[in-house]
Structure 1
Amino acid sequence: MSEERSPSWVDQTAESIVDGKPIDWASLDLEDADPGIAELKRGLKRLAALEERFRSGREHGDGATQDLATWGPLQLRSELGRGSYGAVFEAFDPALQRVVALKLLHPELERQAKQGTVPNRPRDLLAEAQRLASIRHPNVLTVYGAAVHGGAAGYWSDLIDGPTLERVVRERTSLGESEAIAIGLELTSALAAVHSTGIVHGDVKPANVVRSKTGQHVLLDFGASLFEDVESPHAATPATSAPETLMEGRSTRASDIYSLGALLFHLVTGRFPVQGTTLAEVRRAHSERSRSFLADLRPDLSAEFVSTVERALSFQPSDRFASCGELHTALGRCIAGTGEPGGSISIAPGSRVASDETASGDRPRGDRSGTSDGNRDRNREGSRGATGEWTSETTNQGTSEGTSEATREETSDRIGERTGLRQLRRLWIPATVLLVGAGVLLFGREIGRQDGSVASLPEPGPRIAVVPFANLADPADESRYGEIVPSLIRTDLSESRFLSLVSSQRVFGLVERIAGDRRPIDPGRCLRVAEEANAAWMLSGEVLQELPYLIVTAELVDVETGDVIASDRVEGLPEEGVFALVDRLTASLRTRMPLPEQAHEEYDPPIESVTTWSAEAFRQYREGLEDYYRYYRDDARSHFLQAVSIDTTFAAAYLALAIAEGNPEGRPFIEAAKRHMSHVSWREQQSILGFDLETKNRFEEAIRTYEGILERYPEDIETLRSLAFSQRSIGRPEESLRAWERIREIDPRDKEAVNQIAYQSLRLGRMDEALASAEEYLLLDPESANPYDTRGDVLVKLGRTEDALEMYRRATEIRPSFWQSRAKWAALCVRLHRWDEADSLMSWAAENGSEREKSVARLDLALAAAYRGRFAEALRVLERGIREDRMDATFEPIGLKLWTRAELLEVLGKMEASEATLDEWTAEAKKRDHRYAFALEAKAEFLIRSGKRAEADSIAAELGQIVASDPEMRVYYLGVLAWLEREQGNLDSATDILIEMDAEWPEFYTAYHTGRFLLEQGRTADAVPYLERARHETTRLSQPFLAVYLELLLGRAYESLGRNEEAGRAYAYLLETWEGADDIPNVSVAKAEAKRRLQAIAFD
């Protein structure tokens, strides 16, 4: 063979074509005697001509596509870019009614393909586009269709608006490690989806990744994978191409992994690992193994990240990661070394918040502490509650399936024990939706597109009930494999758009009722569970751990006939991971399910891609949920915090913390959850965003968000839950109650719904319904503390104090650390004048409780003294509590204590000191953005009572501005308006405002002052119901002076109505309570009047 026919000659000629260098064709003897060599030369010349034409087209435009006004059904608007083989246009799709991107191959390629002079690129493009159209992944370009029109082949897809990573790096020089890891995790997930369809991308590079407006990184331009042959070595970009692609013209999954490594290298350095200005230079560098190393360019990067990138860049494909999933896992592990857990949250197990059992939540105005009514009412900013008398409306959200997202029976659970399978996903985990109730993560089945639209879905397929598995080596299932494995299976199957999974909450509720604590559950009871869940199929199975093997078997049964539809058995070493075994098991089962053909073609992501990478983090999270459902919040927080300490990107655990903490304490946690939601479905994103809006007190927007979800998922229990809480937060108890009742219709055993119906009925004055729901709640969950606490709260409102005391005692017997009930028990003892018992309970809590309980008990001890009229003693106790709170850095109780201090000082006649305390409180509240509106209202009312009208008007104006942006604060604004109207002599108007307030937020403050204003108007019969309700409000003891003075007002009203016996009891109660009270004017005058009136009644 002559020299000119050598392989180097071919390479040199091809390189010249790519680099645009001139070629002396005359000297090459195109009519070579060897026909094969002659054809090769002629082919290279055609290629050179084609390249020159397109090179010219890029510079000057090309009429072949430039003049097109339409292409098939699409209306072309403008050219976005042009490459060697075609162009990309912005187009409008009338059918989809949206702007799309259209990629067209040059018509010349179609003509040449027909002539057989070049490979059939149009045919290949159409085939690849069809495969791409089957992928629905948030980080992969959504392709809508492909066709040939007017001799031009093309496909149309989403048009992503945003900068490419090439531009981002150019503008910023380089990115930080944690940001690069986050991007890498998105792209490895995307490539895993692409590879699962048999497609090789072939040109992964910064210019082919776009950052959308939502912050997602979307992989574009799959055309290079069509040009893998030696004739077109330039199809891929040299700077990011793998050695084998450049030297052999071969693109594989391994070469995509190399390209992704080169992209990561570029993100953190602004350079590429192999340098060269021409294809020949880059190829030579590869052959000489000459390249830059990451550690030399960025010595500040973690060793683990550097090692991960370097492995991806290995020269030999076999030395790289075996799959994108394996690279994903390695990137996940890197985040631990960045010191940047996705944000500014830094949590250590055992920190103050970890031991803080109280959930913040919808507190009645003035609630002096945490509240067992718990966590989802996002914390009205202030509240006038009673010492220890927190309501438990949202407590024990439990066995309900969720706190935040998607727990309808029809959707599926997504929880996974994240052990093994190379621990896939440690940073931007797409499992951000937590379901509080049965301890699972549920995910929706709609696929979000980049423009926010939603892909159409098939009708839900067969309804499957996945029941607990028998743990053969551990019948009591202490290892919990019998629960974990079916949860993982449910997670995996829920990814299918063609299946409908019975929610774990529904399954667990039925198991509890049908089988109790019996484990394993016999087949007959399992079948009953499936039948009552209205499932068409039941999946049951067994788990056996015979060291070192883990064996899982499963059987899918037709519930109606009892026929076995499919069964399988998988086994593997424990270090392989439960997830890997379940992935294999469900993949096998899916192939045997009688489903549409499309169901067998859809992408089935690894379970680990939708949960957490750590088995221990998952175990902590799951145990936290179980405690949370029973409202054992202190233990729950500890578990959640342990989970995020192990996996600093565990989005579901962050969301659980956000919900448990409430607002504003939970804001950092919801921000962390948001940072890790880039991979979740449209519905999940909407739910997270809805909860985020709640934390920002934008409830109307949150409600619209939830209603949008319910349009598509009308039986989504978790969205209904969120809607109910939001409705309640803006004073719509009727709407909130309807949402809870709808949940109970869907699942009659939903404990949280029954619990909430009790409280919302109380709020609406429907006492019989409230009591019936409280009784029902107790029957559903007699072994937990919270149902007794709820029933106690209802009985208090009904005036059945002794019965309520028994309920609170029972709750603390079941759960000694259930401090909310102990605090209520102590508060009732104060009201019943059982001083020693109350002091014993409060003192014990102040010494032995959690940090929050200690702080609350310090306040309660002061309020108990004030209730007896011993205000000076109360002030001393309070000052000691404030000092101790400051040492513990517990602001919220300090804020409530500052309010109490101001009121005590006012009662003692120390007006300047009282005003100074209010100034301190408002300054602290504004600085910390915590209960500021409540502090302003308290200060304004004090100023009005002090005759400082102008200053009060100024505060009212500021509150008006706050309400304009946060309607939930309206109750505080109305309170100030009522006092201003009264001060001006407009008592009728003031009373109307208070009646409106009481309708929205019925509590001691509104009931007391509404009754008082009605009495001042002479409307005694109207006043009595309000005053009587105030007597039984659970927030009564937060204002100890008014709580006792109330008896004088009621006594006057009763006398006026001729109810002298009741009046006498009211006067006697006041005198007995204040028997040893301080000798101060307010108390002395009230006692003298009560004594005189009582004597007059006795004389009559």
Structure 2
Amino acid sequence: MAAEVAKRAGVNWIVTGKILRLEPNYVLTSQIEHAVTGEIRNTQSVQGEAGEDLFNVIDKLTTEIRMDLSLPEEAGEEPDQSVADITTHSIEAYRYYLEGMDYLNKGYGTEAQASFEKSLENDSTFAMAYLRLASADIPTTSKEKKKMIEKALHYSERSNKKEKMYIESYHAELIGDESGALKGYQSIVNAYPDETEAYYSLGRLHFYCGNVEPALENLTRVIEINPLDKRAYAALAHFYQTLGDIEKSIWAINELISIAPDEADPYDTRGYLYAYRGNVNKAIESFKESVKRDPEFGSLSGLGHMYLFKEEYENAEKCYRQEVASENEYRRAWGRLHLASIPLYQGKLNEALVNLDRVISEDQLDGFEGYPHVWKLNLRSLVHLEKKNREQALSDARRFIDACNKIAAVEDVYYDDPIAMLLARNKEISEAERYLNSLKDKIQDSSAEKMSWYWLASGWLEMEKSNIDAACVHFEKANEFHKGFIFRYSLALAYLKANRLGEAVQVLEQALKIYDATRAFYAIYAVKAYYCLGLAYEKSGSARKAAEQYQIFLDIWKNADPDLEALNDAREHLSRLKGT
């Protein structure tokens, strides 16, 4: 594989090495070979003193390699820093760090977290391990991530120039300074033109800031340097999907699978891409391939969602219960949340509330307060709103806010918008406005991704204030970046209230082709979308199409709680249409 990467990237020479002896002293060997022909150019061997640190011996070997490589003059001017001085003196710490990086590259955030924590148990001053624990891929709260990046900064004096630049750039990103982060990552690639991680970070961040061209340019550069970089292909698959370029999205995901056919992550990614395009059966096939490779990876949730949408509730429950049986606390907590989707999708709101009470208690018994826990409180408030239990809905909204404040860093913005949206839905207009004003101050001139959630919450606020035209404008802005189910559904609802029926029909039809994770979470709306489409068709004069949508809605909610307003209204509308 190394030869293939080198050939495609235009590299001439490959350096390989091994530890020949551990005791009584280290003996290290290496060789320089031609990337294509395999011709051995030079070999090196160094022997450490008895008791000498491994990293000191590595430094000696590095010197030998540089002498044999005939590097350009500029390389000779670079300072020779000790490996131990810029990483760690602990072999075990470094081993666990490399193990964590391997897990991260395969998409195993929880396992990576455990490895980085073990690394720090062996060297509590290892700055790069702290940096990795602050990564978005590690399943921890924003408060914990902030703590980790601050520690990385604190110990960064032991890091080399490049590592310090990464730490400072990611710190800027984590506190919401996207402009500073972009400048930092750009400085890295200016100084180190083949640094794929920095190009990847630039691509990812540019995309979320709405800068499509530089995003794709930087990710393409990653592949030019390393044609087997899995992260770049996964990102491109998602980005092209978001841009509506299905052909390129499929190309990227197939490239990823060809690179890592035995890993779970590529099939999981492909499953969600198929689901987003409305191809539930192909999504199921991909999720099954992922589960086959590793049942603990996390694809059981996606597989369960697809069965939910197909109304195969026993299969969905089986998947979710397998999640609950996981040894990982985050997967258990997600599984508990997903179980509530099954009765919600069927309109069994009373049963869902009983289930939510139980799983919230189970989280508490687990001592778990993370992301999937707080969303159970959010969901319970939404269920009470649907049942017109305003007092209980507001009580749960308050609990949701308290839970968010426990786990969110002060400058964190990812909880403000759902808090504002939930307050607005509960008619707490002034408080919702305060949250949104505070959020706008935090994220002004920020990424398109963050702004899209702000506009979504603002749209719901205006809708609750009966400013429907303003709500439409806000939802339209939100949909410029995000086009997932809840974004499309919210926009369609505003169009319907504004009597913009043609647009409501178009957006609802689009929403009902999207089977993403938000549709499973908002399971009530996932089904009510058929009811809303029926209303839009009926008001447009398309009686037959309206009747079809009402019937789909009523079929899914055939065992729903009998007192639900939408259920009884749909029956009346369908009866009236059949009678004409």
**TM-score, normalisation: structure 1:** 0.48
1:327 corresponds to which residue? none
Q: Quick one: which amino acid aligns to residue 918 of structure 1?
A: A
Q: Structure 1 pair 1094/1042, CA: closer, same or farther in 2 (3 Å)? A: farther
Per the alignment, residue 1043 of structure 1 pairs with 526
1:742 to 207, 211, 221: 221
1:916 and 1:910 map into 2 onto residues whose CA distance is: 10
Query: CA offsets per residue over residues 1033-1073 of structure 1, 9 Å max, x none?
Result: 41112112211110122234456778777655533331221
Aligned equivalent of 1:781? 260
Aligned to 1:670: 149
In 1: Cα distance, 2:329 partner to 2:482 partner: 29
Which of 465, 469, 474 matches 1:988? 469
Contact 2:381 2:394 in 1 (8 A): yes
Shift of 1:611: 2.0
2:201 to 703, 722, 733: 722
Please report the RMSD computed on the Cα atoms of aligned residues, expressed in angstroms.
3.1
Alignment map for 1:557-706 (pairs within 5 Å):
566-572=42-48, 575-594=51-70, 603-659=79-135, 660-661=137-138, 663-706=142-185
Specify the alignment match of 1:852 in structure 2.
Answer: 330
Q: Deviations over 1:775-824 (max 9, x none)?
A: 222122111001111111111122211111111111111001112x1011
1:870–1:816 distance in 2 versus 1, CA, 3 Å: same
1:960–1:1070 CA distance, 2 compared to 1 (3 A): same
Pair 1:1025–1:748, CA change in 2 (3 A): farther
Work out whether 1:1009 is the aligned partner of 2:490: yes
Q: Which has the higher helix share?
A: 2
Match of 2:357 in 1: 879
Paired residues for 1:387-466 under 5 Å: none
Q: Deviations over 1:866-914 (max 9, x none)?
A: 1111111111110111122223332222311111111111112210111
* Distance change in 2, residues 1:1086/1:785 (3 Å): farther
Give the counterpart of 2:437 among 957, 963, 971: 957
Name the aligned partner's letter for residue 807 of structure 1. Answer: S
Q: SS at 2:144's partner residue?
A: coil
The verdict on how the C-alpha distance between 1:782 and 1:1082 changes in structure 2, with shifts beyond 3 A counting, is: same
Provide the rounded CA distance (Å) in 1 between the counterparts of 2:122 and 2:577: 66
Cα deviation, residue 739, structure 1: 2.8
Deviations 1:294-346 (A, max 9, x none): xxxxxxxxxxxxxxxxxxxxxxxxxxxxxxxxxxxxxxxxxxxxxxxxxxxxx
Residue type of the partner of 1:846? V
**Are residues 872 and 984 of structure 1, via their aligned partners in 2, closer, same or farther at CA, if it must alter by over 3 Å?**
closer
Check whether the contact 1:710–1:719 (CA below 8 A) recurs between aligned residues.
Answer: yes
Paired with 2:525 and 2:81, the residues of 1 have a C-alpha distance of 61
Q: Is contact 1:933–1:972 with CA below 8 Å preserved after alignment?
A: no
What is the CA deviation profile of residues 541-571 of structure 1, one whole-angstrom value per residue up to 9, with x for unaligned ones?
5653486565443344567998865433334
User: Distance between the aligned counterparts of 1:530 and 1:598, measured in 2?
Assistant: 22
Q: Per the alignment, do residues 594 and 901 of structure 1 end up closer, same or farther by CA in structure 2, a change over 3 Å counting?
A: closer
Cα deviation code 1:153-210 (max 9, x no counterpart): xxxxxxxxxxxxxxxxxxxxxxxxxxxxxxxxxxxxxxxxxxxxxxxxxxxxxxxxxx
Structure 2 contact 381–392 (Cα < 8 Å) conserved: yes
Q: In the TM superposition, what are the counterparts of 1:194-209 in structure 2 within 5 Å?
A: none
Q: Deviation at 1:834? A: 0.8
**Larger Cα Rg: Structure 1 or Structure 2?**
1
Query: Which blocks of at least 5 consecutive residues in structure 2 are unaligned?
Result: none
Displacement of 1:838 in angstroms is: 1.3
Aligned to 1:1069: 552
Map Cα deviations across residues 690-709 of structure 1 (whole Å, 9 max, x no partner).
Answer: 10111112222212322343
| Matched residue SS, 1:880 | helix
Q: Distance in 1 between matches of 2:39 and 2:323?
A: 58
Aligned-partner Cα distance in 2 for 1:560–1:851: 47
Does the CA-based 8 Å contact 1:557-1:564 persist in structure 2? yes
Q: Does 2:466 correspond to 1:999?
A: no
What amino acid does structure 1 have at the position aligned with 2:308?
V
Change (3 A) 1:690 1:862: same
Cα shift readout 1:249-280 (whole Å, capped 9, x = no counterpart): xxxxxxxxxxxxxxxxxxxxxxxxxxxxxxxx
Q: 1:970 aligns with which of 451, 456, 462?
A: 451
Aligned pairs for 1:907-946 (under 5 A) are: 907-929=386-408, 931-943=414-426, 946=427
Percent of matched pairs sharing the same residue: 27
Residue pair 2:270, 2:286 contacting (<8 A) in 1 also = yes
* 3-state DSSP of counterpart to 1:678: helix
Contact 1:778–1:788 at 8 Å: present in 2 too? yes
Shift of 1:634: 2.4
Structural mapping, 1:761-772, within 5 Å: 761-772=240-251
Matched, 1:898 2:377: yes
8 Å Cα contact 1:664-1:695 kept in structure 2: no
Alpha-carbon separation, structure 2, partners of 1:1012 and 1:752 = 36
Contact 1:936–1:959 (Cα < 8 Å) also in 2 = no
Q: CA separation of 1:1090/1:550 partners in 2, compared to 1, >3 Å: closer, same or farther?
A: farther
Return the alpha-carbon distance in structure 2 between the equivalents of residues 762 and 532 of structure 1. 26
Contact 1:568-1:588 at 8 Å conserved across structures: yes
Greater Cα shift, 618-627 or 906-915:
618-627
Contact 2:421 2:458 in 1 (8 A): no
| Maintained 8 Å contact 1:785/1:810 | yes
Q: Which amino acid aligns with 1:858?
A: R
Distance 2:175 2:105 in 1: 25
Match of 1:44 in 2: none
| Cα shift at 1:754 | 1.0
Aligned partners of 1:606, 1:616: CA distance in 2, in Å?
A: 18
* CA separation of 1:1062 and 1:827: change in aligned 2, threshold 3 A: farther
1081-1090 vs 546-555, which moves further: 546-555
Report the Cα distance in structure 2 between the residues aligned to 1:559 and 1:861, rounded to whole angstroms: 52
1:732 positional shift: 4.4
3-state DSSP of counterpart to 1:914: helix
Using a 3 Å threshold, how does the CA distance of structure 1 residues 600 and 765 change in structure 2: closer, same or farther? closer
CA pair 1094-624 structure 1, distance change in 2 beyond 3 A: farther
Contact kept, 8 Å, 1:658 with 1:670, in 2: the verdict is: yes
Aligned counterpart, 1:826: 304
Question: Partners of 2:253 and 2:329 in 1: how far apart?
Answer: 30
Instruction: Name the structure 1 match of 2:292.
Output: 813
- Give the letter for the 2:165 counterpart: Q
Q: Deviations over 1:30-60 (max 9, x none)?
A: xxxxxxxxxxxxxxxxxxxxxxxxxxxxxxx
Q: Summarize the Cα distance change of 1:599–1:888 in structure 2 as closer, same or farther, 3 Å threshold.
A: same
Q: Which moved more, 1:989-998 or 1:579-588?
A: 579-588
Tell me how far apart the structure 2 counterparts of residues 692 and 658 of structure 1 sit (CA, whole Å): 9
SS at match of 2:15: strand
Q: 2:503 aligns with which of 1015, 1019, 1022?
A: 1022
| Partner amino acid, structure 1, of 2:239 | Q
Shift, 1:1002, TM fit: 2.2
Structure 1 position 756, deviation (Å) = 0.8
Q: Does the 8 Å contact 2:508/2:529 carry over to 1?
A: yes
CA contact (8 A) 2:200 2:218 kept: yes
| Paired AA for residue 97 in structure 2 | Y
